Amino acid sequence: MRSKLSTLLESYGLLNESELKIISSYFKIKKIKKNAFLPEIGQDNAKIYYVNEGILSVFVNYGTENETILRLIGSDEFAIFAESFKFSNESKIAVKALVDSTVLIINKLDLEKLYTEIPNSNILVRKLTQISLVNYESLIFLLKQKPNQKRYELFEKMFPNLAIKLSEKCKASFLNIDPCEISRIRKRISIGLTYYPKDYFIV
């Protein structure tokens, strides 16, 4: 049976069956338990990640009073951390599994081999990076929304696959909303006091 990764890569129409098998063989599978890190701050992070199943959370200033969630990465998404990847330096961020997750990883050296072996892989990675940037911009847009209920509702509608798997505590942390207010927001939504109708969607 073809893997989810191969099916996704095939959808870009750049690779033949043989090339798909070669690229897939370079990715190493890693299972991460809930609340485990990938990688720890200070470790090498010149890698591309594909989340096969689960949710990863990306932090800066982890464990301090200035701890901030930069983004969430859900199933079937790729993640590349630009500074570490470009300069092959130690990671300044923490990547934590919010649920038990399965991640496929390719390191920078192997990727550079693929660029020579399969020229179209260069175009593919560029397209994947563009999609990752679009997703990141969508999160930035979301986190700028006020008041808090509007931000909460938009998160539920823009990222339904993430929203359904996250605890309300995790949502509160990511959206920078007090957990008690999350409860009040949910009550208002339950009685129809919403910013967006049920059929509202984001294109």
Per-residue pLDDT of the chain (203 residues; tens, 9 = 90+): 558 899 999 999 999 999 999 999 999 999 999 989 886 666 667 888 999 999 998 887 766 776 677 788 999 999 887 766 776 666 677 888 988 999 999 998 999 999 999 999 999 989 988 888 888 888 888 888 889 999 999 998 888 888 888 888 888 888 989 989 999 999 998 888 887 766 555 54
pLDDT in tens, 19-41: 999 999 999 999 999 989 886 66
The domains of the chain are located at 4-132, 145-190
Q: What is the pLDDT of residues 133-155, one digit of tens each?
A: 888 888 888 888 889 999 999 99
Burial class (CB in 10 A: 0-12, 13-18, 19+), 74: buried
> 90 and 43 in contact (C-beta within 8 Å)?
yes
3-state helix, strand and coil shares in percent for the chain, rounded to the nearest 5:
45, 20, 35
Contact yes or no for 91/23 (Cβ under 8 A): no
Residue matched to tokens 């700028």: 144
pLDDT at 149: 92
Please list, in sequence order, all residues whose beta carbon lies within 8 angstroms of the beta carbon of residue 163, skipping any fewer than 6 positions away: 155, 156, 171
Report the side by side order of strands in the sheet with 68-73. 68-73, 56-60, 94-97
Report the top-level CATH class of 4-132.
mainly beta
Cα(101)–Cα(25) distance, rounded to whole angstroms?
Answer: 20
Q: What is the pTM of this model?
A: 0.81
Residue-level pLDDT at 203: 44
Q: For position 115, what pLDDT does the model report?
A: 93
Burial 175-197 (b: 16+ CB within 10 A, else e): bebeeeebeebeeebeeeeebee
> Looking at residue 129, what is its pLDDT?
85
